[in-house]
Amino acid sequence: MEVDLAEIIESYVDAHTDDLSPLLEDLLAETESITGLSRWSIGKVEGKMLQMLIKISNAKHVVEVGTFTGFSALAMAEALPEDGILTTCENSKAYADIALRYFRKSPHGKKIKLKLGPALQTLGAIPDNSQDFLFIDADKPSYSLYFDEALRILHPGGIIFVDNVFWRHKIFKKKISNENARAIAAFNEKVNRENRVEKVMLSIRDGVYLIRKK
Ligand SMILES: C[S@@+](CC[C@H](N)C(=O)[O-])C[C@H]1O[C@@H](n2cnc3c(N)ncnc32)[C@H](O)[C@@H]1O
């Protein structure tokens, strides 16, 4: 019988990682029942990783590109101090409405400012060197533009966390035909060449890039 090692590792990692709050579990279940797209959410392991990074780095001002139904935003808000602020960008009103409903149910929801509209527009209004942490998880062809904005709005020492840098393993193909995979592959090369940052790529889930502005 063939053994799927990746699946075994994933469930072992999951079993040895803290659970997130019951409200986040409810949100994931409702996201699946309404949209059928709960796989878009980062899930427990990445959610816990974001919480740990925010706590370890003492981040207070966080930006997220790609709210969807609010799972990652709420997970990050739970890790922020009382006076922390998370600005999250979403261009779909339908998804934003679900997110807002859950932010209102949480004592941490008051830390979240949801900006409806194109993320580049929202990022453009954020002052230079004002943010501690930025999470990129939206349209893949714009990742490079989001990265440029991240370098502008983060202060030195600020952190960028980027999801889906393997794009379902499609970036490993010799000839990449998928448009998102091509954009991600170009983004990964751009980050790797950039000497204003230090970085480590991690093979958790669909691949993440952890980057620190020097
Ligand atoms: C993968 S989902 C985000 C998942 C979310 N971070 C989570 O873990 O629950 C990507 C989201 O980005 C949004 N999006 C895509 N392009 C966007 C844009 N240009 N501006 C704002 N939001 C965008 C999509 O509508 C979608 O809800």
Q: Looking at the domain assignment, is residue 123 inside a domain?
A: yes
Of 98, 138, 111, 110, residue with least CA distance to 122: 138
Q: Looking at the domain assignment, is residue 87 inside a domain?
A: yes
Give the pLDDT score at 3: 74
Cβ(121) to ligand 1 under 6 A?
Answer: no
Q: Looking at the domain assignment, is residue 26 inside a domain?
A: no
Q: Looking at the domain assignment, is residue 171 inside a domain?
A: yes
Whether residue 100 has pLDDT greater than 80: yes
Give the pLDDT score at 2: 67
Taking residues 91-118, what's their average pLDDT? 98
Number of CB atoms found within 10 A of residue 139's CB: 16
Whether residue 31 has pLDDT greater than 70: yes
Whether residue 204 has pLDDT greater than 70: yes
CA–centroid distance, residue 46 to ligand 1 (Å): 16
> Which CATH number fits the domain that encloses residue 132?
3.40.50.150
pTM of the model: 0.97
Please name every residue paired with 154 in a beta bridge, in sequence order, or none if there are none.
131
Q: Best mutation site among 32, 139, 145 for ligand 1, i.e. most ligand atoms within 8 A of its Cβ?
A: 139
Nearest Cα residue to atom 16 of ligand 1: 139
Taking residues 41-59, what's their average pLDDT? 98
Taking residues 61-76, what's their average pLDDT? 98
Give the count of domains, the chain: 1
Mean pLDDT of the chain: 97
Whether residue 51 has pLDDT greater than 70: yes
Give the pLDDT score at 136: 98
Taking residues 41-60, what's their average pLDDT? 98
Give the pLDDT score at 194: 98
CB 190 within 8 A of CB 171: no
Residue 154's domain comprises: 41-213
Please name every residue paired with 198 in a beta bridge, in sequence order, or none if there are none.
212
Nearest Cα residue to atom 22 of ligand 1: 90
Give the pLDDT score at 1: 61
pLDDT band, very low/low/confident/very high, at 48 (cuts 50, 70, 90): very high
The tens digit of pLDDT for each residue in 119-171 reads: 999 999 999 999 999 999 999 999 999 999 999 999 999 999 999 999 999 99
Q: Looking at the domain assignment, is residue 114 inside a domain?
A: yes
User: With b meaning 16 or more CB within 10 Å and e meaning fewer, what string describes 87-114?
Assistant: bbbbbeeebbebbbebbeebebbebbeb
Cβ(137) to ligand 1 under 6 A?
Answer: yes
